[in-house]
Structure 1
Amino acid sequence: MDLLALGPLELWDQGRQFDLGPVKQRRVLAALLHARGEPVPVETLVARVWSTPRRPVDPEAPLQGYVARLRSVLYEAGGGRLGIDRPSHGCYRLRFDPEDVDLLRFQRLRREAAAAAERGDRQLAVGKLHTAENEWSGEPLTEFTCDWARALRARLREERRRAQRERLFLEMEMGRHAAVLGELHELAARRPSDSLAPLDQRSIRLLLLAMYRSGKAR
């Protein structure tokens, strides 16, 4: 089973994609998923699902409806393996296996890559980071327009950039300076989050080092 957060929010099981419902219902699931198993207060969910000017008079009633429908979909997809609990009054929590969530697989692979690099196994570390980067399928949190989602989206993008930089640095340590030049050019030119953000100085330094070591710097 795959619950995908590193791109469009999707739920798959054995080649079948499950309908997660209308946009506000998807926002509920995304907010719970990005809490990574921690309880989320109802007030927080309401703030993330509805913008203030358009918030209903009693948002808890439709929120309960979204949760009920999501529970049905999640049970259909994963049985008891995936669901929404209410650990205490006034909050909800998403229950899942970490290996079913692309975000958590991505983070695990980065940790494993760091451990492999620490042991001196650069080849294994590069492979782990390649696999981690392949967990991404697009732009996350597109269901949202709120400040919380914009800030989280920027952090996730930076995590992705760090994973790519870590891999490129390891490949350079393995002597692949010329091979990574094209990717480093692209990474150094790409702005971290929006058109007003500064260029990525760490990627630029890596690019200059790779150019020097491959004899491309003049």
Structure 2
Amino acid sequence: MRYLILGTTEALRPDGTPLPLGGARLRALLAALALRGGRAVSVGELADDVYGDDPPQDAPAALQALVGRLRRILGREAVASTPGPGYRLVAGPDDIDLHVFQRRAREGAARLDAGDPDTAATLLREALGLFRGPALADLPDPAGVRPEAQRLAALRQRVEADLRRGATDGLVPELTELTTTYPYDEAFRAHLIRALRAEGRHADALTAYESARRTLADALGADPGPELTALHHELLTGAPAPTPTPTPAPPATVPEAPEPLDLFSVSYT
């Protein structure tokens, strides 16, 4: 059985056909269980995830009934009862798309750090391709914050991998859309400038920097960060920005030895 929670919640049979999950509560319960990757979840946590701010009068009993319905769809052995009390989805991380995404994203980031942008780009594309919509779409908004942040981090790394390997075809339109969607994300702004420069569009790169500077100043009252500032310097001078000279540390001093402690004069009252 495979479980998909990077979008609307789905349960797939071994042949890939979906099981009919029914209503929103059942999908929320399955998403909450799959989110934990096969770990035990307390009844209280599940009730919060499933019912949010509108729990029924007897939430534990309602949740127990909901678990019974889910077991009838997935098979009784698919959801185990645990001490606490609680429940656990009988599945491994490889059976849940969120956890497959996280593993591939980590592997892609590691390959990028190791200087292998080609493999990194492949792994990160595979990871991002698992998203079919907003992550954990059937759970309340707070539950989906972390996967969305992870998706954006993987997307930044995938663009970085493409830039490093010189695969800039299509990057400018993609990054133009991303900077419109995430106007305060300096990494996407910097990637757009680098992609424009790689295409030989020097004037457009300068315009993109100025747009980033104005947006940050008008909306946040902030100046561009070090990466954007360094890129701007390179665009103006054709040379990398100088590395700041580190301030020399003050000479180390050896502390004076403390006075010997007179044990007989210490009061223990």
TM-score category by the smaller chain?
Answer: 0.7 to 0.9
Give the alignment of 1:51-130 within 5 angstroms: 51-52=52-53, 54-75=54-75, 83-130=78-125
**Comparing 175-184 with 29-38, which one deviates more in the overlay?**
175-184
The SS at the match of 1:15 is coil
Task: Measure the CA separation in 2 of the matches of 1:34 and 1:11.
Answer: 13
1:57 is displaced (CA, Å) by 2.0
TM-score by length of 1: 0.83
Partner of 2:172: 181
- Percent identity of equivalent pairs: 32
Task: Measure the CA separation in 1 of the matches of 2:37 and 2:92.
Answer: 10
8 Å CA contact 1:37, 1:93 repeated in 2: yes
8 Å CA contact 1:189, 1:199 repeated in 2: no
The one-character-per-residue Cα deviations of 1:121-158 (angstroms, maximum 9, x if unpaired) are 221111111111110111233333xxxx3123232222
Task: Measure the CA separation in 2 of the matches of 1:161 and 1:112.
Answer: 16
Q: Does 1:200 align with 2:201?
A: no
Task: Measure the CA separation in 1 of the matches of 2:52 and 2:170.
Answer: 47
- Pick from 131, 142, 146: which aligns with 1:155? 146
Unaligned residue ranges in structure 2 (runs of 5+) = 204-269
Partner of 1:142: 137
8 Å CA contact 1:10, 1:20 repeated in 2: yes
State the AA in 1 paired with 2:120: A
8 Å CA contact 1:178, 1:214 repeated in 2: no
Partner of 1:26: 27
1:176 is displaced (CA, Å) by 2.6
Task: Measure the CA separation in 2 of the matches of 1:152 and 1:45.
Answer: 12
Task: Measure the CA separation in 1 of the matches of 2:113 and 2:185.
Answer: 25
Higher Rg of the two aligned structures: 2
8 Å CA contact 2:5, 2:137 repeated in 1: no
> Relative to structure 1, is the Cα distance of residues 94 and 174 closer, same or farther in structure 2, using a 3 angstrom cutoff?
same
Unaligned residue ranges in structure 1 (runs of 5+) = 192-197
The one-character-per-residue Cα deviations of 1:86-136 (angstroms, maximum 9, x if unpaired) are 220322122202222111111111122123223332211111111111101
Give the alignment of 1:34-49 within 5 angstroms: 34-49=35-50
> Relative to structure 1, is the Cα distance of residues 15 and 154 closer, same or farther in structure 2, using a 3 angstrom cutoff?
same
Task: Measure the CA separation in 2 of the matches of 1:140 and 1:171.
Answer: 24
Alignment coverage as a number of residue pairs? 202
1:179 is displaced (CA, Å) by 4.0
Task: Measure the CA separation in 1 of the matches of 2:112 and 2:186.
Answer: 23
Partner of 1:194: none
TM-score by length of 2: 0.69
The SS at the match of 2:18 is strand
> Relative to structure 1, is the Cα distance of residues 178 and 214 closer, same or farther in structure 2, using a 3 angstrom cutoff?
farther
8 Å CA contact 1:178, 1:211 repeated in 2: no
State the AA in 1 paired with 2:164: E
